[in-house]
């Protein structure tokens, strides 16, 4: 089934075709029968034309596909609009329980520039469901400045948390299921406060964000604490801020590795006849016993069936040795 293009506005109606009928025209365009449907259709087309709407009645809540807008960028856009007018309309949709008020679908940066100028917004008004609004927002982004990977990841995570169906999210972002999974994994692994301090980082791709997400899952890495020690405001760009944090984490991990004691060698336990019984391996987090199912399959199965009883018995024996007589 063809997907409805929510970005493309309908062609503006011809003025003569929607003019109020008078005189002879009334007799040719009656209010009943088939021509009534034609008049209704023309009226709908006219209502979808670009309108001028006060910026005071346009709300900006809802899922965001951008981390923030640079003040200088908004100011530059405002100067362009002041000199040449608003060339590209924004899209809004009516708020059902607030007559005369609208919710932004796309064009948030243009809306901010118009607010700074104190002038009305040229807007396409569409009666869209939440799902249709998300699709329109996504389609707009494919035709204009594409959000960075981390902005898309945050947008995907927000839509998922908000309960949107996966098919809607995939269409809105124009990604497949594996990519959506990667995006949400990154967005949920890295604290949003850290991402906001870094910024959009358009030059940082998926791979480096995934590396940062993997590093953040290390017990010795607390991203908020490391970020707090850095002078991120001194960086020239969000890409540089990402680099500062990435370098600091790499340095912290190397320092931790250098200070950790060397792991104990694996202990091999053998029977008197040389049969391999088990291996004992120690790491910083665990002591692992591995029984050989090939050399002693019956014993391995018996241990599997009696592990709870035998380990409890050994633990109690160890505790009894610690108690004073």
Sequence-separated (6 or more) residues with CB below 8 Å from residue 65: 137, 138, 141, 147, 151, 152, 155
Q: Give per-residue burial for 94-121: e unless 16+ CB within 10 Å, then b.
A: eeeeeeebbbbbbbbbbbbbbbbeebbb
Query: What's the pLDDT score for residue 65?
Result: 56
Beta-bridge partner residues of 280: 267, 289
Mark out the alpha helices in the chain (DSSP H runs).
15-18, 24-28, 34-47, 71-84, 108-117, 130-143, 149-161, 166-173, 177-189, 192-198, 206-216, 223-228, 238-259, 297-322
Output the pLDDT for position 3.
Answer: 46
CATH code of the region 147-256: 1.10.10.2830
CB 66 within 8 A of CB 110: no
Give the model's pLDDT for residue 79: 87
pLDDT of 212 reads: 92
Task: Please state the pTM of the whole predicted model.
Answer: 0.49
Task: Identify the pLDDT of residue 204.
Answer: 92
Q: 52: which DSSP letter?
A: E
Residue ranges, the chain, pLDDT below 70: 1-48, 62-70, 137-146, 257, 259-263, 284, 324-325
**What span, in angstroms and rounded, lies between the C-alpha atoms of 49 and 46?**
5
- Domain residue limits, the chain: 147-256
pLDDT of residue 135: 75
């Amino acid at each position: 089934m063809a997907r409805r293009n929510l970005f493309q506005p309908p062609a503006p109606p011809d003025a003569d075709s929607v003019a109020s009928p008078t005189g002879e025209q009334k007799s040719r365009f009656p209010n009943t029968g088939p021509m009534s449907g034609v008049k209704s259709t023309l009226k709908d087309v006219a209502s979808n034309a670009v309108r001028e709407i006060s910026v005071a009645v346009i709300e900006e809540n809802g899922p965001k596909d951008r981390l923030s807008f640079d003040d200088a960028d908004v100011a530059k856009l405002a100067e362009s609009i002041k000199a040449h007018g608003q060339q590209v309309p924004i899209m809004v949709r009516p708020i059902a329980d607030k007559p005369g008020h609208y919710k932004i679908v796309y064009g948030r940066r243009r809306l901010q520039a118009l607010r700074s100028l104190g002038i009305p917004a040229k807007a396409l008004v569409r009666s869209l469901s939440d799902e249709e609004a998300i699709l329109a927002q996504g389609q707009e982004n494919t035709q204009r400045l594409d959000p960075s990977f981390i902005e898309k990841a945050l947008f995907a995570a927000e839509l998922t948390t908000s309960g949107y169906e996966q098919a809607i999210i995939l269409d809105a972002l124009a990604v497949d299921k594996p990519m959506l999974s990667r995006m949400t994994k990154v967005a949920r692994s890295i604290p949003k406060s850290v991402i906001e301090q870094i910024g959009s980082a358009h030059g940082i791709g998926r791979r480096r964000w995934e590396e940062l997400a993997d590093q953040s899952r290390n017990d010795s890495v607390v991203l908020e604490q490391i970020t707090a020690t850095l002078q991120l405001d001194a960086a020239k760009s969000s890409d540089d801020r990402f680099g500062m944090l990435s370098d600091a984490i790499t340095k912290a991990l190397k320092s931790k590795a250098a200070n950790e004691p060397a792991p104990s060698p694996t202990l091999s336990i053998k029977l008197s006849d040389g049969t391999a019984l088990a291996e004992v391996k120690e790491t910083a987090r665990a002591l692992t016993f591995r029984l050989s199912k090939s050399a002693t399959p019956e014993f391995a199965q018996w241990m599997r069936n009696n592990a709870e009883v035998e380990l409890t018995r050994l633990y109690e024996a160890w505790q009894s040795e610690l108690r004073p007589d």
